[in-house]
Amino acid sequence: MEVIARGEGPLFSDPDPDKLRAFFRQKSRALTNKVTTVEDAVRRFAQDGDYLAIGGFGANRIPTAVCHELVRQGRHNMIFAGHTSTHDFQILAAGEVFDRCDNAYIIGLEARGLSPNARRYMESGKVRMAEWTNYGLALRLKAAAMGVPFLPGRNMLGTDTFRKSAAIAARDPFTGKIVTLFPALSPDVAAIHVHEADVYGNCRLRGISIADLELARAAKRLIITCERLVPTEVIRAEPTLTVIPYYLVDAVCEVPYGAYPGVMPGEYFSDEEHLRLWLKTEEDPVAFGRFFDDLVRKTKDFQEYLDRCGGVRRIQQLRAQELLLDAGQAR
């Protein structure tokens, strides 16, 4: 294929599909009980320097407990997939967990505004970056999930986003048209929050899947947090509903309300007051340092964090909001 242009950005991961096959060749296919704590899962499966990806969409179905635990255990020098990231990015930037980032959507919280602290971190010059797009990173994960070295797309061409990426523009040998080649991205470790899982890691989820089905298949190691564990018989009674099979999964952690303060489809809505408080507090770095220490670094686990944010009572209000019940504000 004739190469037309090369992005000058760094490629933080190796797209070689034979190395990926060699890795997956030795990955266990055994049906073993993988239930553990988030503390243990992060200790065993997420190492300093790893390429990290977080499932969900910023403040929707995110594995909040894993993001917190990465900070608590002081993970650093990681590479982050800044794909549709919002509150997850806020947590990981505050903990300075990563020092390299593939940027697609970072530092913003969509309609809520920009994160002052994450912005300071990204403006500091401490983070090495490449630019991508949300679809571009989804395609990169899809390529790894397919076991191919790259996939073509027709986006990013002609822009500075392309120039600062590690993509290649090449001439398609079939049609003569120019396409962007997106190198496969296989994160070393990923975490995804789902509605239900069995002890082996077979997962079900409701609502949009974002890029999680690709991510689950692309990642070398996968930590699942779930709202609730279900018996394997439930999975086997209706296999159509399984979206992530157990052999991709390394750890299963039951974390009720684990997407808080984000949305969990059909379960609870995002805690907009809490997210506003977070953004407001970030304006003052000193005050935010204390806030972050109290809520994340010094809490024992996710349940303690949730208790500090109003606990199950707050979740009940958010459940009413999610289900559009009139009880929303009443309790």
Return residues touching other proteins (CB under 8 A): 4, 56-60, 82, 84, 86, 103-108, 110-112, 114, 119, 122-125, 129, 131-136, 138-139, 142, 153-161, 164, 169, 177-180, 206-214, 263, 265-266, 269-270, 272, 322, 324
Q: Which is nearer to other proteins, 49 or 207 (CB)?
A: 207
Considering beta carbons, is residue 208 or 327 the nearer one to other proteins?
A: 208
Shortest CB 125 distance to other proteins, Å: 4
DSSP 80-148: EEESS-SHHHHHHHHTT-EEEEEESS-SB-GGG-B-HHHHHHHHTT-SEEEE--HHHHHHHHHHHHHT-
Tell me how far, at minimum, the Cβ of 322 lies from other proteins, in Å: 6
Residue 26 · residue 220 · CB < 8 Å: no
Is residue 38 classed exposed, middle or buried when 0-12, 13-18 and 19+ CB atoms within 10 A define those classes? Answer: buried
In the complex with other proteins, the residue whose CB is nearer, 172 or 301, is 172
- Please report how close the Cβ of residue 158 comes to other proteins at its closest, in angstroms: 3
| Minimum distance of other proteins from residue 4's CB (angstroms) | 7
Residues whose CB is less than 8 angstroms from the CB of residue 254 and which lie 6 or more positions away in sequence, other chains included = 35, 225, 226, 227, 228, 229
Q: What are phi and psi of 287, to 5 degrees?
A: -60, -40
How near is the Cβ of 187 to other proteins at its closest, in Å? Answer: 16
Query: Among residues 251 and 263, whose Cβ is nearest to other proteins?
Result: 263
Nearer to other proteins (CB atom), residue 265 or residue 311: 265
Paired strand residues for 116: none
